[in-house]
Amino acid sequence: MGHTTKYLFLLVLTLYHAYTVISAFEQFRVYIMDAQVRNLVAHISSKNNDLGNKTLTINQEFSWEFREAIGDSTVFVGQFFWMPPDNIVAKEVHFNVFDSDVARKCGQSLIKKSQCYWLVNDIGFYFAKDKPKNFALVYNW
Ligand SMILES: *[C@@H]1O[C@H](CO)[C@@H](O)[C@H](O)[C@H]1NC(C)=O
């Protein structure tokens, strides 16, 4: 092999390697949107990650993003506390805000980040993918 051929071969090999590493991950961003609850505490955690207690009021939201390897089944559990002004927990709900079922519903993609939206109002928890519209009720308070 001439030098040029050798370098070309190495370049192709490197690009192929980079491609397989990049494409082995999917990216997600999960949003928690408070539409109606004046004092909402959301505690999101996974096996490796604890986002801590977030306090939201009406029209506030927060989000986080992560990558997961193909075949991984990342699970984020959300604990939601509806706090009246006196800060005594009135209602508490917990469910998986992200798992393999939610990932499927968000629309999985190797080329773009998938978005998962959870909207909270005084009825319950609504899910939508990609664009925050067409929310569907999934869990009640
Ligand atoms: C998060 O808030 C809830 C509801 O007030 C409370 O029960 C819990 O102890 C808090 N957790 C932390 C880590 O502060």
**pLDDT one-digit tens code per residue, 25-78:** 788 999 999 999 999 999 999 998 999 999 999 999 999 999 887 777 899 999
| Residue 51 and residue 45 in contact, taking contact as beta carbons nearer than 8 Å | yes
CA 130 to chain centre: 11
80 lines ligand 1 (CB under 6 A): no
| Residue 44 and residue 54 in contact, taking contact as beta carbons nearer than 8 Å | yes
| Residue 53 and residue 42 in contact, taking contact as beta carbons nearer than 8 Å | yes
43 lines ligand 1 (CB under 6 A): yes
Confidence of residue 132 (pLDDT cuts 50, 70, 90): confident
C-alpha of residue 83 to centroid of ligand 1, in Å: 11
C-alpha of residue 81 to centroid of ligand 1, in Å: 8
pLDDT value at residue 138:
98
pLDDT value at residue 24:
64
C-alpha of residue 112 to centroid of ligand 1, in Å: 34
Confidence of residue 135 (pLDDT cuts 50, 70, 90): very high
Confidence of residue 22 (pLDDT cuts 50, 70, 90): low
Only one residue has tokens 């993609």, namely 109
Domains in the chain, please, with CATH? 3-140 (2.60.40)
Higher pLDDT, 64 or 4: 64
| Residue 77 and residue 94 in contact, taking contact as beta carbons nearer than 8 Å | yes
pLDDT value at residue 57:
96
Higher pLDDT, 121 or 113: 121
132 closest CA partner among 112, 120, 115: 115
63 lines ligand 1 (CB under 6 A): no
53 lines ligand 1 (CB under 6 A): yes
